[in-house]
Amino acid sequence: MPLTIVRNDITKMDCDAIVNAANNSLLGGGGVDGAIHRAAGPELLAECRTLGGCDTGRAKITKGYRLAAKYVIHTVGPIWQGGGHGERELLASCYRESLRLAAENGCKTVAFPLISAGVYGYPRAEALRVAMDTCSDFLMEHDMMIYIVVFDRGSLLVSEKLFADIRRFVDDNYVSEHTDKDRKLRARLFGSFAAKSESMEGAAMAAPMAAHSNMAETVCEEAALPDGLAEAMARMDESFSQMLLRKIDEKGLTDAQCYKKANIDRKLFSKIRSDVNYKPKKITVIAFAAALELTIDETRDMLMKAGFALSHSSKFDIIIEYFISHGRYDIIEINEVLFEFDQPLIGG
Ligand code: ADP
């Protein structure tokens, strides 16, 4: 997944470079800056002294010393003054300049903290948005793995309204599933009326079971007849990979437009492209469904081809259903919400 959000201490990230939210002097400070200097050792400060400070929105690079990361990229974020003083552009410039330095120094993996979102007071949700948008723009032109590292829980990372809408949607759908389970449990524990409804459910279950056993016989028969099997195979539905490529064409996208929009690594996409029977992960299928702006039915169809479904007993599935059925396909936004709900992110 070329762009992802993780919860971690950035000094522990094993990347080619980690980015430091420094101040103009580059001579160390509190917050993430202090943590990076403590973990890297005094040699880092010694090198920083030779750099002559750094302007807001710009970046400078040093070695990583005792860190797992080979480099530290020091950038100076803007101090939040209400949003009308060019803060957004300066913050975006921090990410762009840091990524430019990372690319010039051959880095393939880079980790950022939420620059300016601590002592400098930039609202966290907006700081995350700038980080995600700027990094995703950069990834349109470059191959790199970028981590946005969120340290503490603090305030929300998505808008309160969106969070509340999704929380309600999850609760409504999750609860109905569990109410249903409760009902079945009550049925098992008490009373004949409940028992009746159980047996009806049992009958309903019997039909698919019978169908299944017939199917098993048919399969055995066919297996004994290699010609028949070959014929059946020839009639197989289109695979996930075939459906994906067809949809890309139908939507008039290029492959690169599609996999970049889907937050999918180029190498993974070429594997899928070259293997008609490729079995992707669920987070990969959903990322493609969002990038291709599929309807909820088309999404279910694509998931089924890869052996998955959307259920109401998983928060992840309900959140995905919320976005797709509301026609909201912004993968950055979906991932921000998934992260906020402690769910896996989509992409691959
Ligand atoms: P700034 O002055 O740019 O606001 P801060 O260091 O005060 O910088 O905070 C920037 C962000 O880094 C905040 O969101 C803070 O929670 C986070 N942070 C602090 N320590 C760490 C750490 N060890 N790893 C990752 N993020 C951190």
Pocket (CB within 6 angstroms of ligand 1): 9-11, 21, 31-33, 35, 77, 113-120, 149, 151-152
Tens of pLDDT along 247-264? Answer: 999 999 999 999 999 999
**3-state SS class at 144:** coil
The reported pLDDT for the residue numbered 155 is 84
* pLDDT exceeds cutoff 70 at 300: yes
Tens of pLDDT along 209-221? Answer: 333 434 433 344 4
Hey, whose CA ends up nearest to atom 7 of ligand 1? 118
The reported pLDDT for the residue numbered 207 is 35
Q: For the chain, which residues make up each domain, given as ranges?
A: 3-157, 162-181+237-340
Pick the CATH number of 3-157 from 3.40.220.10, 3.40.50.300, 3.40.50.880, 1.25.40.10: 3.40.220.10
**Is-catalytic flag, 33?**
yes
Catalytic residue, candidates 33, 55, 317, 330? 33
What amino acid occupies position 76?
Answer: V
The reported pLDDT for the residue numbered 209 is 37
Distance (Å, whole) CA 205 – CA 194: 17
Helix axes 296-305, 240-250, angle to 10 degrees: 150
Pairing of strands 109-113, 71-76: unpaired
What amino acid occupies position 169?
Answer: F
